[in-house]
Amino acid sequence: QKEVEQNSGPLSVPEGAIASLNCTYSDRGSQSFFWYRQYSGKSPELIMFIYSNGDKEDGRFTAQLNKASQYVSLLIRDSQPSDSATYLCAVNDNDMRFGAGTRLTVKP
Amino acid sequence: NAGVTQTPKFQVLKTGQSMTLQCAQDMNHNSMYWYRQDPGMGLRLIYYSASEGTTDKGEVPNGYNVSRLNKREFSLRLESAAPSQTSVYFCASRMGLRIDEQFFGPGTRLTVL
């Protein structure tokens, strides 16, 4: 059984701080990794994907991947109240698997 | 370009009733997926179709059947609904390449009494 694990939170950070979200996965052969954001009552929407070891930056978001440790993370810099949502980590094989999500609250 | 559409948006069933959830995409995607989302459980894969004409079980297939009617459409059927199937159901699609994202439909909120 392929597992994707996330700390369910809730994670609370003040506005302007860095939020750090973590994800581990069990299948060493997994190739690509995705971070989705989901607002309450809405569908998930893609923030970033990563498939090479190291960091990938897109605006205020940085994804980090360490395949040896089977670990992927998402950093959100200068967090804003509008970033308050549930963040879902997904691991791609043919059957995209999701973690349970981490609920982030950014307090003004 | 509507993306991924799902019908119905809301549904209430009685235990033992059957129903089919419809999903369609207009992005010429090869792969389609059905997930359920329960509070605190994240998205759990029910079934997926990697390409037209194929379907495979996901993590939680029991109590469900699927049909990949054509490249655009992927339906999910509950033959005999149970209260444990109360959930929000999401359909998603993607081209099927290694790094392409999934696009999600708006979801169907199903309650089984």
pLDDT digits (tens, 9 = 90+) for B100-109: 788 999 999 9
Burial class (CB in 10 A: 0-12, 13-18, 19+), A19: buried
Cα(A21)–Cα(A23) distance, integer angstroms: 7
Which residue, among B57, B88, B99, would best test binding to A if mutated, counting the most A CBs under 10 Å from its CB? B99
Query: Does A96 have pLDDT greater than 90?
Result: no
Query: Does B42 have pLDDT greater than 90?
Result: no
Taking only the tens place, the pLDDT of each residue in A6-46 is 987 799 999 999 999 999 999 888 889 999 999 999 999 99
Closest chain A C-alpha to B78 CA, distance in angstroms: 21
User: Least CA distance to B39: which residue of chain A?
Assistant: A100
- Give the three-state DSSP class for B83: helix
H/E run at residue A45 = strand A45-50
Q: What is the pLDDT of residue B98?
A: 64
Number of A:B CB contacts under 8 A? 57
Taking only the tens place, the pLDDT of each residue in A58-82 is 999 999 999 999 999 999 999 999 9
> Residues B73, B66: contact at Cβ < 8 Å?
no
Nearest by CB to B105, which of A43, A46, A99?
A43
Closest chain A C-alpha to B106 CA, distance in angstroms: 6
Closest CA to B32 of B85, B6, B68: B68
**β partners of residue A55:** A64
Q: What is the pLDDT of residue A29?
A: 85
Using the Cβ of B22 and the Cβ atoms of chain A, whether some distance falls under 8 Å is answered with no
Average of pLDDT values for B50-65? 93
Using the Cβ of A6 and the Cβ atoms of chain B, whether some distance falls under 8 Å is answered with yes
Using the Cβ of B38 and the Cβ atoms of chain A, whether some distance falls under 8 Å is answered with no
Average of pLDDT values for B82-95? 95
Q: What is the pLDDT of residue A93?
A: 74
